[in-house]
Amino acid sequence: MKRILPLLTLCTALLAVISCKKPVPVAVTDIKVEPGTLSLEVEETGVLAVTISPENAENKDFTVTSSKPSVASAEKTGDAQIKVTALKEGNATIAVKSADGGKTATCSVTVAAKVIPVDRIWFDFEEDEVAASMIGHIFQLPINFSPENATNLNTLTATSSNPDVVEVTEEGLLVVGPGSTVITLSNADGSVSASCTITVPTPVIEWVKMEYEKLPDMTIPRSDMAIFYSGDELVVAGGHTNGFRTTDNAGYLKDGNWTEMTMTARHDNQATVILENGKVAILGGTGNGGSGTYANVDLYDPGNHSFSALPAMKTSRGLFHGTAIGNDIVVSGNWYSSDNIERYSAADNEFTVIKGVSSNRSNPYVLRSADNNAIVFGAWDTRGSTSSAACVVDQLDGESFIPDLFEEWKPMYVPTSFKSTDCQIGDYKYLIGLENTQTDFTYGLCLVDGNEFSLVKTFVRIPHRDPDGNGIYYNGIILVDQSKQVGYMIACDRNRTEKYYVLKIDYAQVLTRGTANLTIYYSDPIDDIAAGQSGYALMPDGRVMVAGGIYNSNSTTYQTMYAFGPF
């Protein structure tokens, strides 16, 4: 008989062993925090939700920490929630870690300052009057608000009911012109606002009696000469003397004393160009009685007070102007003769005709407009009459063009003593005088910036008569003092009473397309000063100097010099 019982007993024992083995625990495979970023204001709280996977994980416990507890604190508020409290401005990272340390998740918290809204704003006044002299300037209006600890002031915006009077800019309130406007300050939804009226009176130009001083007479009487400062030395050269006779005489004034010099050639109605190396070129000119033109060129060296000859120009010229490009020279213009643009190359030591001009001109503006370029324009032809050339600007390098501005305005005629550096207010920037082509005795100012021309706004019109009714004749030349950001436009009495005027132009605001302030100074009649064809220069002390000139005719000249100012 088979033995079955022992085998059944063995199987039973094995089943018993198997049924007694403990089950394996379910581990955490992932942990998430939502949201992953949180933005709060100081004193605000936020809630983070924690999700642990899988759902049947045996241990769903976790720990929470803050990288910057002083910025944002974090604490568990439930099995799957975290409370975050914002304490101060800054950034913190909230880290959540599973109980077994195997899985982590983070939330980036940004804490901003608590926004305290403005509930009221007001001005300290209901109306305010801004002085006319503020035209072209920016000012701020002080405001009050509550509560004192309001933090959303940057949400307030200002508007002007009449931007032609006061314009709202990022910098403040820009005074544009006379009149009244309402300035309104309000928040985004308009629930909080305040208004005040700003009145700008119609400006009136200020007339100021100016001082003047007689300077030492030049060694000879002369008119239409070269005149310039080299350091603290005033240099005069050439021109014509009594009898309308050209001269090669020159001299420099230092410490109240004149020292005479002689040029290599005679120059009258010449061009004067100050080079980058400090030397000065005196070019061409007309002959005795104003007849004929010459091509000779003198180079003045202030280091040894001497003149030497440069190669002659290709074109004989008189009543013309030039400018420097480094130590090169660009010239254009002529008198009773043909015209073109030519350039002296310092490297090659010679003049070359570069191109013709759109129209012949006398005493044109020749201004450096770029690193290696210059522009030429002017209002008078080679016979001294108004020319259509005033509308055309020729370029040393580039096509000719007509600025829109010249449809209504033309550049003023400038005298022989003009130098491109006289009216320079910055790199390739110049201030020049304008005459209106449609209205007599209406004057303006132009900003030339490279090859761009724009009308300068002024808070008052440039006067053409003084308070006594005398007509004013502007000679077109503007002497610029860059250190003070002012220019001086010189004028005399149209009745030739030897009464001088100086229009002071505060152009600081012009550089940012703002408005120029004007003041006009006047003198008593002076017996021994010329009313025309004088030489003009800005003195190192900021005064304006007038030298020489003619009396009634080119045959009678002055040797006196006067300084006007200070201004």
d(CA 79, CA 201): 73
**Which pLDDT value is given to residue 387?**
76
pLDDT at 9: 52
What is the distance between the alpha carbons of residues 184 and 465, in angstroms, rounded to a whole number? 41
Please report, in tens digits, the pLDDT of each residue of the chain (567 residues total).
444 445 445 445 544 444 555 667 888 899 999 999 999 999 999 999 999 999 888 888 999 999 999 999 999 998 899 999 999 999 999 999 998 888 999 999 999 988 888 888 887 766 777 887 777 778 888 888 878 778 767 677 889 999 999 999 988 888 888 899 999 988 877 778 888 899 988 888 999 999 999 999 999 999 999 999 999 999 999 999 999 999 999 999 999 999 999 999 999 999 999 999 999 999 999 999 999 999 999 999 999 999 999 999 999 999 999 999 999 999 999 999 999 999 999 999 999 999 999 999 999 999 999 999 999 999 899 998 887 667 899 999 999 999 999 999 999 999 999 999 999 999 999 999 999 988 888 999 999 999 999 999 888 889 999 998 889 999 999 999 999 999 999 999 877 678 899 999 999 988 887 789 899 999 999 989 987 789 999 999 999 999 999 988 899 999 999 999 999
Residue 477, C-beta contacts closer than 8 angstroms, at least 6 positions apart: 414, 415, 417, 418, 422, 423, 433, 489, 490, 536
Integer Cα distance of 326 and 184 in angstroms: 53
The SS3 assignment for 402 reads coil
Query: What would you report as the CA-atom Rg of the chain, rounded to the nearest whole angstrom?
Result: 41
Q: Where in the chain is the domain with CATH 2.120.10.80?
A: 206-564
CATH of span 31-112 = 2.60.40.1080
Is residue 36 helix, strand or coil?
coil
Tell me what pLDDT residue 18 has: 47
3-state SS, one letter per residue, for 250-261: EEEEECCEEEEE
Eight-class DSSP state of 22: P
The reported pLDDT for the residue numbered 449 is 97
> Residue 236 is inside which H or E element, if any?
strand 233-237
pLDDT at 195: 87
pLDDT at res. 533: 82
Residues forming beta bridges with residue 319, ordered by sequence position: none
What class has domain 206-564?
mainly beta
Please state the pTM of the whole predicted model. 0.70
Q: CATH 2.60.40.1080 region(s) of the chain? A: 31-112, 120-200
Cis before 566? omega within 30: yes
- Spatial CA neighbour of 221 closest among 197, 203, 239: 239
State how far the alpha carbon of 17 is from the alpha carbons of 6, 14, 23, 25, 435, in Å.
17, 5, 14, 20, 118
CATH number of this structure's domain 120-200, picked from the four choices 3.90.550.10, 3.40.50.970, 2.60.40.1080, 2.40.50.140: 2.60.40.1080
CA–CA separation, 485 vs 507, rounded Å? 6
